[in-house]
Amino acid sequence: MLRGESIISHQDTADIPVLMLANKQDLPSSLKVEEIQQAGFTRIAEALSARDSKVLPISALTGYHYLDLILL
């Protein structure tokens, strides 16, 4: 099982899409997608050589964007 930084540098993860779920989007204090991308998500996706990578804003409380997860 791969963990932490070893996932980023492991050869088996090359070109694997990355999907980060940004939960708690129902809270006014939550980080927005742009803030998460600037805080390091883009760097992680690039380090993984991910071609299709995104941050999906969700809310477990309200169900916001959960249908999008099912359709992925």
pLDDT in tens, 37-46: 888 787 777 7
d(CA 18, CA 23): 16
d(CA 23, CA 32): 10
Write down the pLDDT at residue 8: 65
DSSP states of 17-44: -EEEEE--TTSTTSPPHHHHIIIIIHHH
Residue-averaged pLDDT of the chain: 80
What pLDDT band is residue 2 in, cutting at 50, 70 and 90?
A: very low
- The answer to whether residues 34 and 57 touch, using CB atoms and an 8 Å cutoff, is no
pLDDT in tens, 8-60: 667 777 777 888 889 999 999 999 988 988 887 877 777 777 778 888 899 98
pTM above 0.85, yes or no: no
